[in-house]
Structure 1
Amino acid sequence: MLERFTSVLLCTLMLITRPALAQDDTPLRLAIIGLDHGYVEGVLWNATSRDDLTIVGELDFFDVAAFHDGCP
């Protein structure tokens, strides 16, 4: 009985930890279309301090927003 419990427990632990081990460390790529709305400012500002997020898209749009909002 203990042997079966141990086997079930081991299989359960393997199934639970497998998705966590399979994740890669590449940052999430985020594209924002249209910078006309005010809420985009918060997304861009917060993204500059995160390592797990990369903004992708037209560089000139990001430069305009960064210049306007004082982003580094």
Structure 2
Amino acid sequence: MGALKAVDTLRAGLPDRYLTPDDIATMFGVPLETVYQWRKKRTGPPGFRIGKHVRYDPAAVRAWVNDRMAETEAA
């Protein structure tokens, strides 16, 4: 499986597979370290561990984005 390209993500829909931290960084145009900090601070999309690997459920990422958008619109 190859890494996501920015154009293959949120606008075109999320892939039907669990996402990696690299995918999340590419999707949001942020450094990989930012994704790790979001996880550490529990401010980013919820991830889970499979052994030593972190993965993200595309549905949970979509819900996280929708929540951020709702917060922005309410502000």
Task: Please indicate the TM-score interval, normalised by the length of the shorter structure.
Answer: under 0.3
- The two structures have a TM-score, normalised by structure 1, of 0.22
Structure with greater proportional helix content = 1
* Larger relative contact order (Cα-Cα within 8 Å, sequence gap ≥ 6): 1
Q: Radius of gyration: which is bigger?
A: 1
